[in-house]
Homo-oligomer: A and B are copies of this chain.
Amino acid sequence: MKINEHYRELPESYLFSTIAQTVNEYTKAHPEAKIIRMGIGDVTLPICQKAAEAFAAAAREQGEAESFHGYGPEQGYEFLRERIRDYYASFGACVKMDDIFISDGAKSDLGNILDLFDADNTALIPDPVYPVYMDTNAMAGRRIAFLDANPGNGFLPMPPSGQRGDLIYLCSPNNPTGAVYNRSQLTEWVEYANREGAVILFDAAYEAFIADPELPRSIYEIPGAETCAIEFCSLSKLASFTGTRCGYTVVPKALVRGGMSLRKMWLRRQTTKFNGVSYPVQRAAEAAFTEEGMDQCREHLDVYRENARVIRETLAQLGIWHIGGTDSPYIWMQCPGGMKSWEFFQELLEKANVVGTPGSGFGKNGEGFFRLTAFGTKEDTAEAMERMKRM
Q: Is the CB of B53 within 8 A of A68?
A: no
Which residues on the B side are within 8 Å of A70 (C-beta)? 42-44, 240, 242-243
How far apart are the CA atoms of A7 and B270 in the complex, in Å?
Answer: 13
A211 within 8 A of B: no
Q: Is the CB of B64 within 8 A of A258?
A: no
Q: Is the CB of B274 within 8 A of A240?
A: no
How far apart are the CA atoms of A112 and B315 in the complex, in Å?
Answer: 43
A72 within 8 A of B: yes
CB of A245, distance to nearest CB on chain B (Å): 4
Digitize A268-299: 1 where CB-to-B-CB distance is under 8 Å, 0 elsewhere.
11011111111111001000000000000000
Q: Is the CB of B62 within 8 A of A268?
A: no
- CB contacts under 8 Å to B, within A210-227, are none
How far apart are the CA atoms of A1 and B276 in the complex, in Å?
Answer: 29
A171 within 8 A of B: no
Partner of A257, one of B1, B62, B116, B257: B1
How far apart are the CA atoms of A135 and B262 in the complex, in Å?
Answer: 17
Q: Is the CB of B264 within 8 A of A12?
A: yes
A55 within 8 A of B: yes
A158 within 8 A of B: no
Partner of A49, one of B13, B58, B63, B110: B63
Q: Is the CB of A135 within 8 A of B272?
A: yes
A29 within 8 A of B: no
A260 within 8 A of B: yes
Which residues on the B side are within 8 Å of A160 (C-beta)? none
CB of A120, distance to nearest CB on chain B (Å): 6
How far apart are the CA atoms of A108 and B109 in the complex, in Å?
Answer: 12
The quantity of this chain's copies bound in the complex is 2
Which residues on the B side are within 8 Å of A273 (C-beta)? 107-108, 110-112, 132, 136
CB of A360, distance to nearest CB on chain B (Å): 18
CB of A169, distance to nearest CB on chain B (Å): 14
Partner of A271, one of B13, B44, B57, B262: B13
Total residues of chain A contacting the partner, CB 8 A:
88
CB of A5, distance to nearest CB on chain B (Å): 7
Q: Is the CB of B55 within 8 A of A68?
A: no
Q: Is the CB of A1 within 8 A of B272?
A: no
Q: Is the CB of B46 within 8 A of A65?
A: yes
Q: Is the CB of A139 within 8 A of B272?
A: yes
Q: Is the CB of A56 within 8 A of B53?
A: no
Which residues on the B side are within 8 Å of A115 (C-beta)? 4, 139
Given contacts A3-B116, A43-B70, A242-B275, 17 further A-B pairs with CB under 8 A are A1-B166, A2-B120, A3-B117, A3-B118, A14-B268, A14-B272, A44-B70, A46-B64, A49-B63, A58-B59, A59-B284, A62-B240, A70-B240, A107-B275, A136-B272, A278-B281, A280-B280
Residues of chain A at the chain B interface (Cβ within 8 Å): 1-5, 7-8, 10, 12-14, 17, 40, 42-49, 51-53, 55-60, 62-65, 67-72, 104-105, 107-108, 110-112, 115-118, 120-121, 132, 135-136, 139, 166-167, 196-199, 240, 242-245, 257-258, 260, 262, 264-265, 268-269, 271-281, 284
Q: Could you pull out 8 A-B pairs where Cβ atoms are within 8 angstroms?
A: A1-B258, A2-B121, A7-B265, A45-B65, A58-B59, A62-B284, A70-B243, A104-B278
